[in-house]
Every structure is written in structure tokens, then in C-alpha cells.
Amino acid sequence: MPLTIRPLTPSGFAGEVSDIDLTQPLTRDQVAAIDDGMDQYGVLIFHGQRFTDETQLAFSRNFGELEVSSGAEMSKARDRRLARMEMADISNLDRDGKLRAASDRMRLTALGNRLWHSDASFRAVPAKYSLLSARVVPGTGGNTEFADMRSAYDALDEDMKADIEDLVTEHSNAFSREQIGFLKVDYGAENQDKLTPVRHRLARFDPRTGRKTLYLSAHIGGIVGWPVPEARMLIRDLTEHAVQRRFVYAHVWSPWDLVIWDNRATMHRARRYNDLSDVRDLRRTTIRGDGVTVAQIQRAA
Ligand code: OGA
Ligand code: MN
């Protein structure tokens, strides 16, 4: 049976998919239909997908090479709950399955997910899709919001489009964490090399859809050739524009939802919930992108 996609917003951003079981091996046609759906909607929601870590990893590999989770990479083995380095632990639990304490470092770092961002934009080859599976969800709060960066780009006025056309931004995990009070030294000497800023185009062209996207992220700390305060103000202005409610879909989680988003065409953020008393256990796999963004073709030939 072909899969069915129902748009979740009037603009057609985010779609809800039915008639498919992602825990079973998929046919090439099914994978292609999901890729086409991703190009069209930017975010796809699937309900009732009872993944184990292994079936989530197997399903994710249909879409490309998996990234190692930056959270896993930058933490000590004794602090990690999940065995697989490709599985990002988006939970408030420690390795004994207990709620993390208020002062727990992993808890505080994870609060950075509440800033609007695009996953792994601090990597030279940033992420393509992220696949987030809900295992346990809190009673209230803890939604995930997604912003449509294609529509946000289209809605810029022509002067702004011209102004940003050739801009190159600098991204680092240190820049996003700095916004919530972390210092670069807090990452430890062993992680300093992972904080070196990488460069990406601010206006990206997507050859699959022929559309442009605004490539924004909390990880941005500068624009090449610009004074830092001026760069940060432009990024703030553009972010404020891009996250207007008309560009946003808010996902309210149920257990066993799987949400896939395209980091090249969306930003997202976690919303608050009572993480000192309610369990929220989500697990993310991430597909590596297809190349650097600085040299990419900007217009269709
Ligand atoms: C992520 C992320 C948001 C959330 O998994 O990359 O930002 O709501 N998650 O947990
Ligand atoms: Mn994220």
C-alpha cells in the first residue's frame, strides 16, 4: 500500500504519514516515498512505531551514513546511558535510569536544545535528517517546535535576500552554549578541537526542490568579514523573522511517535517540561549531510 501523507499546517509544512511500519525492512520504493515526502514537507510524523535501538538504527541507515552523537562524543563513557555512539540520548535519565539532578552537567548541556537550532550545524558537513523516536513522554510540556526555513526565506524582502546572498556564517557548539552561560573551558581540554568554528552559507540552495533556505542555528557566532556584534544582530533579526508562528509546527509527543526533520530546511527547539520529576526519553539518530555548504551551487543552472 502506498503511504499516505496528510499536511499538518495550512502552508503544507509538516506531514503526518500513515500506512507504514518502519520497524520492518522497507522496500526501495518506500524509502524513496519517504525521501520525496521529506523534500515536500520538511518534517514527517509517524505514529505507533515501536522501535528498539537496533531497529531505529537499521531504519535510519536507509537514508545515508549515521553521525556519531556529539553529546556521546563529548561525554565520558561513565556518563552515557545508551550503548551506541550513533544514538543521541535525548532524555533526562542517567545510566541507572534515574532522573538527572538539577546540577547534573549533562542535564544543563541538554538545555541548549531549547534554543532554535539545526542539528550538527557545527560540523563541516552538517546533518541531513534527524530521526527522533519517543519512548517515554512527560505528562505536560516537552513539545518540539519546527520552523520552516524555506518559507522563512521566501518571505524575506528582496533587499534582504540580496544582502545575505553571499554571506558565510561561523558555527560552533561553543557559541550556542555560550548563550546559556557555558564557557569554552567547561568542555574540557579533550574537546577543544571539536569547538573550532566551521563555515556555512547563510542562504542555501536545495537542488532537489529548487528552493532556497535560510540556514540559521543557535550555533552561529559570526559572519565571515563582519564585526561580531553586527553579525550577531543580523542573525538575531533573521531568527526572529524565521520563527514567527506562521512558519512553525509544534509537535505534541505520544509514545512511539517518530519524527523526521530535514536540518537543511528547518530549525527546531525543545520546549520546557518538568524534567526534575517527569521522565522524557527520546532517542535520536542523525544522517550525515552530502557535503560542505560553502561551495554549493547557489542557483539552478
Ligand atoms: C534533538 C532536539 C528537541 C527535543 O533531538 O536534536 O533538539 O524536543 N530535540 O527534545
Ligand atoms: Mn536538535
> Any idea where the domains of the chain sit in the sequence?
4-288
Alpha-carbon span 114 to 205, nearest angstrom: 27
Average pLDDT taken over every residue of the chain: 95
Given the CA of residue 117, which atom of ligand 1 is nearest to it?
A: 7
Cα(114) to ligand 1 centroid in Å equals 8
Alpha-carbon span 300 to 2, nearest angstrom: 31
Segment 259-288 shows an average pLDDT of 98
What class, spelled out in words, does domain 4-288 have in CATH?
alpha beta
* 162-198 pLDDT tens trace: 999 999 999 999 999 999 999 888 888 888 998 999 9
> Which residues' Cβ are closer than 6 Å to ligand 1?
90, 113, 119, 130, 132, 144, 268, 270, 282, 284
**Mutation test residue for ligand 1: of 144, 146, 252, 279, the one with most atoms within 8 Å of CB:** 144
* 59-75 pLDDT tens trace: 999 999 999 999 999 88
* Pick from 198, 227, 26: nearest CA to 127: 198
List alpha helices for 50-172, DSSP H.
53-60, 70-73, 105-110, 149-154, 158-164
Alpha-carbon span 171 to 161, nearest angstrom: 21
* 16-33 pLDDT tens trace: 999 899 999 999 999 999
Cα(113) to ligand 1 centroid in Å equals 6
